[in-house]
């Protein structure tokens, strides 16, 4: 049965993200109970109408879905294990960042305790919650997702990816891996530009425009990878990129910048050229990653 606008929500964990989630629910007029391990973090939320709870038991006694937004997998168990019996028959939505196998373990633990489990990967930072652009990826119990979809949409756009509780987390980490590689490349570029007196903030403007333009090629890259067809060289072949990475390495050394970010990619390209894949498209590098 779908929830009503009167369905209460319990938020366990009032770090930066938990506070943003709770504040957004309160703004939407939802009854929200809140708990945090260290007392005192609920002051602003209580002033805004939240039900401050001194214990996890008190927080979940309000009814409705329980949202955990804690530091890590271990802190979810530390918080929920002592109240597992009280959670029987309830619906748990875990927005704590957990590795896929940890999410699957939590789903098994939940099933053993008759708890319906939905896992979520938050693709947003706290100020984005409740704003356009924020998204949360979900997998696990479809019943929980369908029942509380309206509430979840208050927080961020909500998308469901099936009953494998580890799927959303895999997607989350795959997107983060792409993001971190990009951020690392940006830091490397900023270090190179500092050697010629350009401030990082100035470089950032140009890098943002360049990277935005380059991301337009991603759909084509995805198609090449899925087809495992690396003969249509729509950007440049591996040999071209190897030469570019060699030059970037030399330029970086000359600028006194370490090769920590660029060396792994250069090594992958070197290996492929040595193995005779130089004429193939850059995307063939994907095949080296398994």
Of 24, 33, 94, 96, the one binding ligand FVH (CB under 6 A) is 96
CB 274 within 8 A of CB 260: no
Binding of residue 133 to ligand FVH (CB under 6 A)? no
C-alpha 162/C-alpha 104 separation (Å) is: 13
Q: How far is the CB of 151 from ligand FVH (least distance, A)?
A: 18
- Judged by beta carbon, residue 96 or residue 139, the one nearer ligand FVH is 96
Binding of residue 86 to ligand FVH (CB under 6 A)? no
Binding of residue 125 to ligand FVH (CB under 6 A)? yes
C-alpha 91/C-alpha 41 separation (Å) is: 25
CB 158 within 8 A of CB 146: no
Binding of residue 70 to ligand FVH (CB under 6 A)? yes
- Judged by beta carbon, residue 13 or residue 166, the one nearer ligand FVH is 13
- Judged by beta carbon, residue 71 or residue 203, the one nearer ligand FVH is 71
C-alpha 256/C-alpha 133 separation (Å) is: 38
Of 10, 11, 14, 262, the one binding ligand FVH (CB under 6 A) is 14
- Judged by beta carbon, residue 15 or residue 130, the one nearer ligand FVH is 15
- Judged by beta carbon, residue 35 or residue 261, the one nearer ligand FVH is 35
DSSP secondary structure string for all residues of 28-87: TT--EEEE-SSTTTTHHHHHTT-EE-SSHHHHHTT-S-EEE--SSHHHHHHHHGGGHHHH
**DSSP structure class, residue 282:** G
- Judged by beta carbon, residue 19 or residue 252, the one nearer ligand FVH is 19
- Backbone φ/ψ region at 276: left (φ over 0), alpha (ψ -120 to 50), beta: left
Q: What is the largest CA-CA distance in the chain?
A: 66
Query: Among 1-9, 75-83, 163-171, 241-249, which window interacts with ligand FVH (CB under 6 A)?
Result: 75-83
Name which of 177, 10, 23 is nearest 86 in CA terms. 10
Query: Among 122-130, 193-201, 248-256, 260-268, which window interacts with ligand FVH (CB under 6 A)?
Result: 122-130
Indicate the SS3 state at residue 114: coil
Residues 27-46 that bind ligand FVH (CB under 6 A): 36-38, 41
Residues that bind ligand FVH (CB under 6 A): 13-18, 36-38, 41, 69-72, 75, 78-79, 96-97, 122, 125-126
């Amino acid at each position: 049965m779908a929830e009503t606008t009167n369905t209460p929500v319990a938020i366990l964990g009032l770090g930066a993200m938990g506070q943003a989630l709770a504040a957004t629910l309160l703004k939407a007029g939802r009854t929200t109970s809140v708990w945090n391990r260290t007392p005192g973090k609920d002051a602003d939320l209580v002033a805004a109408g939240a039900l401050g709870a001194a214990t996890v038991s008190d927080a979940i006694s309000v009814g409705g879905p329980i949202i955990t937004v804690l530091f890590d997998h271990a802190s979810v168990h530390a918080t929920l294990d002592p109240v597992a019996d009280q959670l029987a028959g309830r619906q748990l939505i875990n927005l704590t960042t957990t590795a896929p196998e940890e999410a699957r373990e939590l789903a098994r633990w939940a099933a053993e305790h008759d708890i319906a489990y939905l896992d979520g990967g938050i693709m947003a930072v706290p100020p984005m919650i409740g704003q356009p652009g924020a998204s949360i990826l979900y997998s696990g119990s479809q019943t929980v997702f369908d029942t509380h979809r309206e509430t979840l949409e208050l927080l961020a756009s909500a998308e469901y990816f099936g009953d494998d509780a580890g799927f959303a987390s895999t997607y989350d980490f795959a997107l983060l891996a792409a993001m971190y590689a990009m951020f690392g490349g940006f830091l490397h570029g900023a270090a190179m530009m500092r050697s010629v007196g350009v401030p990082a903030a100035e470089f950032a403007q140009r890098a943002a425009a360049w990277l935005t333009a380059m991301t337009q090629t991603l759909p084509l890259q995805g198609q090449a990878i899925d087809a495992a067809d690396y003969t249509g060289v729509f950007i440049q072949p591996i040999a071209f990129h190897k030469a570019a990475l060699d030059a970037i390495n030399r330029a970086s050394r000359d600028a006194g910048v370490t090769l920590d970010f660029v060396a792994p990619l250069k090594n992958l390209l070197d290996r492929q050229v040595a193995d005779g894949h130089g004429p193939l498209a850059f995307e063939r590098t994907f095949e080296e990653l398994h």
